A = this chain, B = another copy of it.
Amino acid sequence: MDIIRTIDEIDHKILTILQEKARIPNAEVARQVGMAPSAVLERIRKLEERGIIEGYEVRLNPLPFKQGLAAFVLVEIDRSRGNGSLEQRLAEVSGVQEVHQIAGEDGYLLKVRAADPKALGQLLRDQLLTIPGVKGSRTQVVLNTVKETRRIELE
């Protein structure tokens, strides 16, 4: 299944508009690209089918939900053991937003959210370090987030 195929200029334009503001009405997109709404709708559908558009997300302020503290946690694992469902277990820990396997270390880099340092500490101690196969961790706490987007440059 080749996802790539041709992303032509019009698709490009549509995606640029959607990256700007995902909840814009289809007719408005059509106006901006100078096409009929139905044609644009069909293109968006196909972009979804082809896996180029993976979904639409609401961006919530983490503060009201007591998730204001972010941290990056490097989890060192014990390769000698059968890893098995380790990745899955890391991903399931509450507050874990991202799990990346990284090069150069036997481990994973996690992006985690918690209420405050104390809650983060508990999370690490009680939920992460208790997972079989986890040897240890190193945590970098975020003091301030300057930029946080998932926007990509459409080359």
Contacts and interface: CB of A to CB of B under 8 A. Distances in A.
A67 B48 CA distance: 18
Contacts of A155: 65-66
Nearest to A110: B147
Given A97-B150, A98-B148, A21 B143 contact: no
Given A56-B58, A94-B153, A146 B87 contact: yes
A1 to B, nearest CB: 12
A98 B109 CA distance: 15
Contact of A152 (B74, B113, B141): B113
Interface residues of A, number: 64
A22 B98 contact: no
A60 B152 contact: yes
Given A15-B58, A19-B58, A59-B54, A100 B145 contact: yes
Q: Which 10 A-B pairs have the closest CB atoms?
A: A99-B146, A91-B147, A22-B56, A23-B56, A101-B144, A99-B147, A22-B58, A54-B59, A18-B58, A100-B142
21 contacts: A4-B64, A18-B58, A19-B58, A22-B58, A53-B61, A54-B61, A56-B57, A57-B58, A57-B59, A66-B155, A72-B102, A87-B146, A90-B147, A98-B148, A99-B147, A100-B148, A102-B141, A102-B143, A103-B141, A103-B142, A108-B146
